[in-house]
Structure 1
Amino acid sequence: MNGHANGHANGHANGTDSSIDVVIIGAGISGINAAYRLQSECPNYSYTILEARDDLGGTWDLFKYPGIRSDSDLFTFGFRFNPWVSKHPIAEGHLIKGYMRQTADKYGIDKHIRFRHRLISADWSSTESVWTLNVENEGQTSTLKTRFVIFGSGYYNYKEPLETKIPGLENFQGQVIHPQFWPEDLDYKKKKVVIIGSGATAITLLPNLAAEAERVTMIQRSPTYVFSLPNKTSNSVLLWWLLPASWLLPRALYKSVERLAWIVATRFLFVFCRTFPSFSKWILKLHTKSQLPSHIPYDPHFKPRYNPWEQRLCVSPNGDFYQSLRSGKADVRTDTIKTVTKKGITINSGETLDADIIITATGLKLQVGGGASISVDGKKMDLGTKYMWNGVMIQDVPNAAFIIGYTNASWTLGADATAQFVTRLINSLESRKIVAATPRMNLQEAKQVQIRPLLNLSSTYINVADRVLPMAADRGPWKPRDHYQKDIKFALHGKIDDQMEFVHGSDLHVRPNIA
């Protein structure tokens, strides 16, 4: 087995192999994390990472807009096996990408990445118990065979933004920019900028643009919760006690304690908001009003229509969003757009906002599997009609894991729970001489099951994607993921056989003679 694995490992960089034991789709944070877990827990298995872009980083390589940063703390968004060492929990995109590159280099993961390799389609053969992947590289298409596929490409469509109808946008004579396709040479100095949207992207853009633009105005249909977070652990209300711990504990132990503390604190905040919504709204109201300038009222601009954590809280490190409002260079309007004119936007109150640049921060379009066509025995799978098994695999899709992180905690926590389950599954299948595992919903449960949302948020981009994402249910292994502590326990010790169909064979490794 070791000779087989090493032979494949040596061929990864030049892309000469036509068969690999495990293929990971995407060299973002999910893919790099899965690669580490594979080579640590399944050292006898060869693997490669297919990355459609020119570089690793995923989201952090795609988005280039000013101030792009994490909206989760890096102590939990970072890798457990290679802790984030900065004292700042919120980091800008280029720092996150650099951290990911350092991690890939440190553990030799970079040698397994095939850049500019885009997965076009994946077809499972029940006869051979193998996936055939059609992969495009610089205009040429090749095939790759594998026993197991890990889709670590997230759930964003990198090529298309979420479509939003903005009346009269075609009339505008200035520049229209979508954050997903931000031109690196965009000159916004001394310009009038209007941002359409109120999510994390808009909250990030406003203070960063206001530093150089003449004026920045954010138009929102409805407000969101904007929570100021001191960008240093020692200044945190909940985690101040970590400062003396950093002096007393060995570094490795301290980093583990720090990560656990952020996991617990984030979970506490979420549960508290959901359990005591009225009290939470009151606290957030006081928090917000204390930071607003006198000319911007709390209602209607910062009084959301929903309870805290029905949508993600937008993080403002060190209150930079509110600082921009107080500076007078930034403003907010809560209204709908009547029409876009040649030189600006008219809102339904009758006010016209002059603009040189309009930024459509209206959300992201979701997809599963990186947009690749997925089929079983030639039959295309409509993943939006399938249930997700324990938040890891999809009903009727064999030997495939789909990494979807959390909406109420760091993405990487969910990604790592998935990766650790996958490595345990692969080792279990090998020890039991099983070559295929497929989640199947039994007939009795199919008649009784009630649909639940896969992602427990009411955000517009998630509601729009309801037909695209797999479903969750109210029972059995089809329930949506709850929280990290529960999911990591399942990943390490949970029942693998529950509503899982197995195919026995001699070896889970892919042999060259089937390529």
Structure 2
Amino acid sequence: MAETMAALAPEAAPVEHVDVLIVGAGISGVGGAYHLQEQCPGRSFLVLEAQDGFGGTWRTHRYPGIRSDSDLYTFGYRFKPWVGAPIATAEEIRKYMGEVIEENGLGRFIRYGHRIRSARWDSSANRWTIEAARGDGSIARFTANFLWMCQGYYRHEEGYTPEWPGMARFGGRIVHPQTWPEDLDYRGKRVVVIGSGATAATIVPAMADEAAHVTMLQRSPTFFRTGRNGIEIADELRTLGINEEWIHEIVRRKILYEQARFIQRTQTEPEMVKGELLGQIRALLGDDYDIDKHFTPRYRPWQQRLAFVPDADLFKGIAAGRASVVTDEIETFTETGLLLKSGAMLDADIIVTATGFHLSALGDIDFAIDGEPLVFGDTVTYRGMMFTGVPNMAWVFGYLRASWTLRADMVADVVCRLLNHMEQTGATRVEVALRPEDHNMPLGPWIDPEEFSSGYVARGNHLLPKRGDKPEWQHMHDYWSEKDALPAIDLTDPAFVYR
């Protein structure tokens, strides 16, 4: 008997059961925990987080100048007023999230240092079994009735860096923003930042004050917007002593309205919007600067993510000569820098590859449904949050042209309403399925490349679920249509199959 018990010891770790298991303690997971506590009182839940603390992106990204590229009045939660500048640093965002955790007693539900390795659904038990590796190498096991995926959509451990010829020859340091080394000293150094998106536009001005010079090397330009890192109406309302909850809601609605109008204009009058965006940059850099070459993209505005440059810091650095832009392609790395396809040389001590990330739809977790591996790309999405053939699971994927958290809040409402509906009807299992009228529906990629063509989408679209040609079977990527559609979801629709 003792030998039998000893043999079973590795498997004898206690299995903890909860009604809902939330994956990730980033902006979506912390918000989900808040909503679950508020809207589903008495429901047991845990949040498993791979990192040693909360924050997600705002914890793992530590490059110079790290800041939001969405305003915090809409990137912040609807239930927690934001009181700072609209574009915030990672530290400010983490502080805000920490206040949400502390004020609502959420800390006791979060388990840090738990990297989920596998998730197995068992239809006979109607529950998920989750295995997570702890930092000390031990394995923690959980079962859950419902799985809420809030881990985001990219791999936190490493960013995407293309393989260029000669990289091993380079005598300086090559770093990716996602894994920024704490010991990197760039004072007085020549820095080349490869990339032209929001990350590059943040790093370049942040390093330019101390580096000898910073060059942004781009294969093709990106659209940027500039403006003051402040909102006049918010400042005025605070001067008048208006309650912060009111200010948050008023400013939030104003920003959302203006964003919607702007996005509509990028589709109905793209050339006019393009002229306005380029006019802002021309006013900062002067008529002699080659705006056409360095800041005029080949795509229409908002076909890729449009980055906001607060207080025009990137362009002020260029105008002052501390930074520059080169539009060219890399032929090869050399011992001292980069040889470009034009034949030009870029000398560098440090090369930063701000070239994007690896899309990871389900957090690199090994999923199986009744013993069969889950191929996420073979499923069809319901409203971008549930998937055919996947029971008792919801996923948070925010917006590409608006703040992520807007959708995280609304998905939380749907999940909580669904959980309460199941409790009221006695259902222990729910999954979505195509209705008879949907079976001949044309299917396409999760994101239409004609609508959004960023590199990470092109590289990873095949990993994401399919979408149909009906609103129910799409992620609309449009807050203004979903703000009414998601609360109106009919949970008795035949698309929901309960058992």
Within 5 Å, give how 1:90-489 maps onto structure 2.
90-138=87-135, 139-234=137-232, 240=233, 243-244=236-237, 247=240, 249-293=242-286, 296-442=289-435, 444-454=437-447, 456-489=451-484
**Mean Cα displacement is larger for which, 195-204 or 288-297?**
288-297
Question: How far has the Cα of 1:165 moved from its partner?
Answer: 2.3
CA contact under 8 A between 2:58 and 2:90: conserved in structure 1?
yes
Change (3 A) 1:246 1:373: farther
Q: Aligned partners of 1:325, 1:461: CA distance in 2, in Å? A: 28
**Mean Cα displacement is larger for which, 27-36 or 167-176?**
167-176
Segments of 5+ residues of structure 2 without an aligned counterpart are 1-12
**Mean Cα displacement is larger for which, 480-489 or 311-320?**
480-489
CA contact under 8 A between 2:63 and 2:180: conserved in structure 1?
yes
Change (3 A) 1:348 1:321: same
Q: Aligned partners of 1:471, 1:246: CA distance in 2, in Å? A: 49
Instruction: Return the letter of the residue paired with 2:87.
Output: I
Instruction: Return the letter of the residue paired with 1:151.
Output: M
Change (3 A) 1:499 1:169: farther
Instruction: Return the letter of the residue paired with 2:32.
Output: A
CA contact under 8 A between 1:434 and 1:502: conserved in structure 2?
no
CA contact under 8 A between 1:197 and 1:221: conserved in structure 2?
yes
Question: How far has the Cα of 1:170 moved from its partner?
Answer: 1.5
Q: Which runs of 4+ in 1 moved over 6 A?
A: none
CA contact under 8 A between 2:443 and 2:466: conserved in structure 1?
no
Instruction: Return the letter of the residue paired with 1:37.
Output: H
Q: Give the SS at the match of 1:451.
A: coil
CA contact under 8 A between 2:441 and 2:469: conserved in structure 1?
no
**Mean Cα displacement is larger for which, 203-212 or 286-295?**
286-295
Q: Give the SS at the match of 1:159.
A: strand
Q: Give the SS at the match of 1:290.
A: helix
Change (3 A) 1:203 1:243: same
Instruction: Return the letter of the residue paired with 1:389.
Output: Y
Q: Aligned partners of 2:245, 2:389: CA distance in 1, in Å? A: 42
How many residues are paired up? 484
CA contact under 8 A between 2:15 and 2:141: conserved in structure 1?
no
Q: Aligned partners of 1:303, 1:489: CA distance in 2, in Å? A: 36
Is 2:491 the counterpart of 1:496? yes
Instruction: Return the letter of the residue paired with 1:411.
Output: W
Q: Aligned partners of 2:393, 2:446: CA distance in 1, in Å? A: 21
CA contact under 8 A between 2:153 and 2:363: conserved in structure 1?
yes
* 1:102-127 Cα distance to aligned partner (Å, 9 max, x none): 11111111111000011111111111
TM-score normalised to structure 2 length: 0.93
Aligned to 2:46: 48
Change (3 A) 1:169 1:483: same
Question: How far has the Cα of 1:499 moved from its partner?
Answer: 4.3
Instruction: Return the letter of the residue paired with 1:471.
Output: K
Q: Aligned partners of 1:285, 1:47: CA distance in 2, in Å? A: 49
Q: Aligned partners of 1:303, 1:162: CA distance in 2, in Å? A: 25
CA contact under 8 A between 1:73 and 1:89: conserved in structure 2?
yes
Instruction: Return the letter of the residue paired with 1:119.
Output: I
Q: Give the SS at the match of 1:434.
A: coil
Question: How far has the Cα of 1:449 moved from its partner?
Answer: 1.9
Aligned to 1:64: 62
Instruction: Return the letter of the residue paired with 2:349.
Output: D
CA RMSD in angstroms comes to 1.8
Question: How far has the Cα of 1:45 moved from its partner?
Answer: 0.2
Segments of 5+ residues of structure 1 without an aligned counterpart are 1-14, 235-239, 505-515
Question: How far has the Cα of 1:452 moved from its partner?
Answer: 4.5
Question: How far has the Cα of 1:141 moved from its partner?
Answer: 1.5
Within 5 Å, give how 1:29-44 maps onto structure 2.
29-44=27-42
CA contact under 8 A between 2:445 and 2:462: conserved in structure 1?
no
Q: Aligned partners of 1:497, 1:334: CA distance in 2, in Å? A: 54
Q: Aligned partners of 2:335, 2:287: CA distance in 1, in Å? A: 32
Q: Aligned partners of 1:124, 1:420: CA distance in 2, in Å? A: 24
Q: Aligned partners of 1:98, 1:375: CA distance in 2, in Å? A: 37
Question: How far has the Cα of 1:483 moved from its partner?
Answer: 2.2
Percent sequence identity is 37
Q: Aligned partners of 1:458, 1:473: CA distance in 2, in Å? A: 19
Q: Aligned partners of 2:334, 2:287: CA distance in 1, in Å? A: 30
CA contact under 8 A between 2:190 and 2:350: conserved in structure 1?
yes
Q: Aligned partners of 1:488, 1:373: CA distance in 2, in Å? A: 33
Question: How far has the Cα of 1:453 moved from its partner?
Answer: 3.4
